């Protein structure tokens, strides 16, 4: 791109013309029901979580004041890390300021120009960017295809190997074939890195995510990443693993070392969210029941989606309704909004060309009647 004003406006006009120009909305109009938030358990507004935030801010102030290795690491951060280690059944956990930074930092610390990474084609952008920035050789396998991953792994020359994948894929809501990937990485002596941003708090018998769903041990999944901005309703992220892994990240993760520590009040709120998510397990059951209800509702009305019916797969809080072209997805999204439902259209480059979609997400804050109303509105919008 040329560096002049005309080139910028041409680039914007080009995006506009292809219906790919993005805009931000400022908050939510009153009465609009939000079906695209990642606040799956409804914890972002939970009184216990907000109270923990306010109490901590009144005692410790707002900013952490420094990076973790200087003076930014306080008792709330440490307690949160200890609780996350216990929650995930791992020796240690390390809090990062965002999931994006956790992914960049973990991959950068474990892989360099001499390493090789095998990566799912539909991985989250932050994993993709982490791979790129590391300078390692990167091979991408077909989405969810462990056999293809194995073939790529076998062809690598480097001895330093990583396989990176989302646990629950953010745009499709499906799970990675983790048992196969774990077998493969153990046989190849490679690290398996799983980003379970959308699984933790929601998937697994007690909300411990994909590892629990598939009964995988820390040995199977040695590097587990989670975020707080999804099911836990706050902000930030963590990596969990054995003590040496975490200590290595403290030494070498540039996105850990060279950034300001999370505000302590966010750590305090996240501790409260973790407690509530465990105590109020009905939240997890409710969000998954909504996803099943929606899937059944679509099937009853003969509405096809690219996703397998909820009964035929592990249910998550994310349900994609693939519509094809970006314009079509935008149009259906607009019609739904006119009916009072906010469902974002997801377009390339976030998803592959020709698979623009509505990404419907459910929350424990929704009620059954709202899910039913969305099904009806969607049927109407598609028929119009």
Residues annotated as catalytic are 170, 198, 230
- The answer to whether residue 100 forms part of the interface with ligand PLP (CB under 6 A) is yes
Region from 10-18, 99-107, 257-265, 307-315 binding ligand PLP, contact rule CB under 6 A: 99-107
**Positive or negative torsion for Cα 265, 362, 198, 132:** negative
- Which residue, judged by CB position, is nearest to ligand PLP in the bound state? 99
3-class state of residue 235 by DSSP: coil
Q: How far is the CB of 120 from ligand PLP (least distance, A)?
A: 11
Q: Minimum distance between the CB of residue 369 and ligand PLP, rounded to whole angstroms?
A: 28
Options 65, 218, 229, 348; binder of ligand PLP; rule CB under 6 A? 229
Contacts of 236 (CB under 8 A, 6+ apart): 95, 96, 97, 98, 227, 228, 229, 262, 266, 267, 270
Helix (H, G, I), strand (E, B) or coil at 288: helix
Please identify, using beta-carbon distances, which residue of 237 and 240 lies nearer to ligand PLP: 237
Instruction: Identify the three-state secondary structure at position 79.
Output: helix
Whether the CB-CB separation of 226 and 193 falls below 8 Å is answered with no
Instruction: Tell me the DSSP string of 125-170.
Output: HHHHHHHHHHT-EEEEEPTT-HHHHHHHHHT---SSEEEEEESB-T
C-alpha closest to that of 198 among 366, 323, 361: 361
Closer Cβ to ligand PLP, 72 or 167, answer by number: 167
CB of 88 to ligand PLP, least distance (A): 16
Site for ligand PLP in 176-215 (CB under 6 A): 195, 197-198
Q: How far is CA 219 from CA 133, 156, 223, 276, in A?
A: 27, 22, 9, 28
Q: Where are the beta strands (DSSP E) in the chain?
A: 33-34, 92-96, 116-120, 137-141, 161-166, 191-195, 223-227, 237-241, 318-324, 341-342, 345-346, 356-361
- For residue 96, CA distances in Å to 138, 247, 382 come to 24, 14, 42
By the rule CB under 6 A, 49 interacts with ligand PLP: no
Please tell me the distance from the alpha carbon of residue 232 to that of residue 214, in angstroms, as a whole number: 21
Name the one range near ligand PLP by CB under 6 A: 93-101, 184-192, 268-276, 282-290: 93-101
User: Which of the residues 125 through 144 are near ligand PLP (CB under 6 A)?
Assistant: 126
Q: Which of 98, 119, 134, 333 binds ligand PLP (CB under 6 A)?
A: 98
User: Which region, judged by CB under 6 A, interacts with ligand PLP, from 61-69, 98-106, 281-289, 311-319?
Assistant: 98-106
CA dist list (Å): 147 to 41, 131, 153: 34, 21, 10
Edge-to-edge strands of the sheet including 356-361? Answer: 318-324, 356-361, 345-346
* Binding-site string for ligand PLP from residue 107 to residue 126, where x marks contact by CB under 6 A and - marks none: -----------------x-x
Residue in 88, 170, 277, 333 binding ligand PLP, rule: CB under 6 A: 170
Of residues 74, 99, 204, 209, which one binds ligand PLP by CB under 6 A?
A: 99
Identity of the residue, 185 or 255, whose beta carbon is nearer to ligand PLP in the bound complex = 255
Query: Is residue 359 involved in binding ligand PLP (CB under 6 A)?
Result: no
Q: Could you tell me the smallest distance in angstroms from the CB atom of residue 99 to ligand PLP?
A: 2
In Å, how far from its chain's centre is CA 158?
A: 29
- Smallest gap from residue 134 Cβ to ligand PLP (A): 16
The interface region with ligand PLP, picked from 17-25, 66-74, 95-103, 290-298 by CB under 6 A, is 95-103
Q: Which is nearer to ligand PLP, 266 or 321 (CB)?
A: 266
Q: Which residues bind ligand PLP (CB under 6 A)?
A: 98-100, 103, 124, 126, 166, 170, 195, 197-198, 227, 229, 237
């Amino acid at each position: 791109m040329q560096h002049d004003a005309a080139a910028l406006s041409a680039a914007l006009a080009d995006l506009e013309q292809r219906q790919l120009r993005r805009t931000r909305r400022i908050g939510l109009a009153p009465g609009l029901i939000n079906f695209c938030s990642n606040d799956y358990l409804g914890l972002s507004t939970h009184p216990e979580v907000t109270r923990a935030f306010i109490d901590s801010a009144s005692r410790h102030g707002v900013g952490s004041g420094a990076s973790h290795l200087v003076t930014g690491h306080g008792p709330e951060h440490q307690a949160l890390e200890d609780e996350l280690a216990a929650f995930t059944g791992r020796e240690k956990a390390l809090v990062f300021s965002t999931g994006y930074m956790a992914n960049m930092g973990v991959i950068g610390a474990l892989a360099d120009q001499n390493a090789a990474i095998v990566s799912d084609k539909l991985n989250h952008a932050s994993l993709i960017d982490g791979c790129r920035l590391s300078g390692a050789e990167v091979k991408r396998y077909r989405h969810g295809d462990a056999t293809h991953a194995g073939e790529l792994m076998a062809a690598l020359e480097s001895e330093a190997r990583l396989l990176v994948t989302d646990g629950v894929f953010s745009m499709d809501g499906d799970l990675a074939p983790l048992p196969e990937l774990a077998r493969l990485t153990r046989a190849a002596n490679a690290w398996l890195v799983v980003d379970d941003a959308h699984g933790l708090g929601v998937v697994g018998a007690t909300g411990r995510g994909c590892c629990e769903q598939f009964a995988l041990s820390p040995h199977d999944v040695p590097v587990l990443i989670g975020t707080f901005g999804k099911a836990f309703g706050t902000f930030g992220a963590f990596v969990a693993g054995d003590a040496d892994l975490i200590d290595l990240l403290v030494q070498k993760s540039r996105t850990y070392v060279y950034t300001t520590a999370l505000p302590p009040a966010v750590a305090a709120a996240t501790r409260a969210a973790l407690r509530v998510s465990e105590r109020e397990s009905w939240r997890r059951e409710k969000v998954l029941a909504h996803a099943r209800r929606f899937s059944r509702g679509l099937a009853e009305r003969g509405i096809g989606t690219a996703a397998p019916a909820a009964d035929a797969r592990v249910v998550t809080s994310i349900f994609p309704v693939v519509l094809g072209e970006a314009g079509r997805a935008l149009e259906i999204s607009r019609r739904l909004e006119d009916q009072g439902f906010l469902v974002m259209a997801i377009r390339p480059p976030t998803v592959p060309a020709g698979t623009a979609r509505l990404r419907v997400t459910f929350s424990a804050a929704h009620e059954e009647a709202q899910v039913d109303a969305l099904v009806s509105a969607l049927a109407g919008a598609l028929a119009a």
